[in-house]
Amino acid sequence: MSHSALSTSFCSALNEYTSVVKKLACGVLELIAAGLRIQPENIFSKLLMDVESDSVLRLNHYPPCSSGHGFNGSMTGFGEHTDPQIISVLRSNNTSGFQISLRDGSWVSVPPDQDSFFFNVGDSFQVLTNGRFQSVRHRVLANGLKSRISMIYFGGPPSKQRLAPLQLLMGEGEQSLYREFTWFEYKKSAYNSRLADNRLGRFQRQQLIA
């Protein structure tokens, strides 16, 4: 097979995979909407299905880091952070390294499973649900023996989409935790900050203290 044909085949496979994973993410968002008892059920998923949706598929490769290179079991492959988008769908080969942070600040490893998809709530979804769903702080540690390969679909809204807590979810007397902003505004702010920063901090409202 020629280089051109191989490239075309690879691009076709990636496009097909991205399309399928996007539908999977939308299905999960619609199940969440149903669980929250809000209508329409595509209130979240339509942001991903929009033709101007700012979504992307990223492939990561973490080569093995042997003891000969000073590996001590805790070398960082990708530093701690939350995803700015609405939802992320992760799939990887059967190699450990992915960790999430619990509420007490401790880190736990997510057992690798090459046959499963993992879903991360992003900052934008935290805003839309007024904190009912919180973005997942996570990181990747280098593996001492095997290469880790991961594919992540980041489902983001259109650049001009305005993000704020949905009034449909707000209970009586409930205050919005975040000021309204566009996805473009938040994305620009997020990528100009440090990876581990609390990126939503500058968009939070100052709540009145009784």
Catalytic residues: 148
Count of C-beta atoms within a 10 Å radius of residue 167: 9
Instruction: Report residue 115 as tokens.
Output: 């046959």
CB 166 within 8 A of CB 186: no
Give me the sign of the Cα torsion angle 195, 196, 197, 198.
positive
Closest CA to 47 of 66, 32, 29, 73: 29
Cβ neighbour number for residue 154 with a 10 Å cutoff: 20
- Phi–psi pair at 198, nearest 5 degrees: -80, 90
Q: How far apart are the C-alpha atoms of 189 and 41, rounded to whole Å?
A: 30
